[in-house]
Amino acid sequence: MEYLTLLLVFIAFVLNVNGRAFHERFISSSSDSDERTITYKVIGKQPLKMVSSDQDSQHEYKLGQVSGLAASVKNPNRLFIFHRASREWNQESFPDGVNFDKNKFGVIPENTILTVNTRTGQIIDQWGNNTFYMPHGLSVDIEENLWLTDVGMHQVFKYSKGERVLTLGESFVAGSDSSHFCKPTDVVTSNDGSNIYVADGYCNARIVKFDSKGNFIKEYSMPQGEQPLIIPHSIIIMETFHLVCVADRENGRIVCFNEENDDDQTNDYDQVKAIIDHPLMKTVYAIDYDPNKHRLYAVSGRNGKNRALGFTFSVHPESFGQLIATWEPHDKFGEPHDLTLSVNGRSLFVGEIRPNRIDSFDVLN
């Protein structure tokens, strides 16, 4: 409760002036860095190489475009990967910008979901062939169920032990009402499983909240008159602070909404509780949260002269939104698309779509 009170006081002080919500950019410097900033490092390692086995031999596995990553909540050395195998998203994939050309491209015949041992690179399990059309988002809930989005199908799926147990949205039907999506990008669930949040998406500028059975509760979007979300691309929950935060990709910012009051169906200023941005973060593709050390991780894409970078922000109540560090691989990022943090907070993984690889990092302190 003490952290929550401090956060609310901080937000009330820095985010509201004359009744209007606003945000500041937080840039750390050597003159005001504390001990956490000085000793904290993210160290790039070699990209993760995956090894597949058959009856006769072992061989390196060739990834497709890596659209989604999720770390196991039970094993710090286990990673789930959602990739596009032989499928590539190009100008012909969505001829009208919304509808996937399923007649031309069809379903992906190869396995699209991998479970990997991050210490050895060994593929433990793989499945998802003849199931997906354009894979995108992936998350894991507290029971290690997989949640996936397919932007071609305009749908969200929950899988338990490889079996589909819940579907949201109508197959290949785009929409913006309470039962349809338009190219949904990501999905996350509350720790108790009672709430589902969907980032929707490439066509819609909103977050949609459902109960555990898929019943619509409400949606979040920017207040009227404010810059709307432009491709909400990645989503997390910070339950301690009652925040649901989204990577607002093309605006280059992270927007955090108040997820407490389900009775309030209006899109007013009370919904937006914090906005984090930085001059180097021209776009932001993915975010993840370390609840133990109160850190928010983000990765940007290339934009003009700005190269893609990883960012670590503080979400301590007294320094919410302050930049702690930037980081990148030794040979720079190509086109990062998603990131995930191991359950022990010691390893970061970034999935890229060009080149098709998974970057690996050690988190020190």
Residues 151/201, Cβ–Cβ less than 8 Å:
yes
Burial of 250 (0-12, 13-18, 19+ CB in 10 A): middle
* Listed residue (274, 236, 193) closest to 8, CA to CA: 274
Q: Is 233 annotated as a binding residue?
A: yes
Q: Is 138 annotated as a binding residue?
A: yes
Q: Is 78 annotated as a binding residue?
A: no
Q: Is 69 annotated as a binding residue?
A: yes
Q: Is 202 annotated as a binding residue?
A: yes
Q: Is 294 annotated as a binding residue?
A: no
My answer on whether omega of the bond before 47 falls inside 30° of 0, hence cis, is no
Q: Is 243 annotated as a binding residue?
A: no
* Amino acid type, 143: E
Most distant pair of Cα atoms in the chain: their distance: 71
Three-class secondary structure of residue 129 per DSSP: coil
Residue reference for tokens 């907070």: 345
The tokens of 123 are what? 């593929």
> Quick one: DSSP state of residue 306?
B
Strand partners, 258: 243
Q: Is 280 annotated as a binding residue?
A: no
Three-class secondary structure of residue 127 per DSSP: strand
Phi, psi of 286 (to 5 degrees): -150, 150
Q: Is 302 annotated as a binding residue?
A: no
Binding region for Ca(2+): 69, 138, 338
Binding region: 69, 84, 136, 138, 202, 233, 249, 337-338
Binding region for Zn(2+): 136, 233, 337
Binding region for a protein: 84, 202, 249
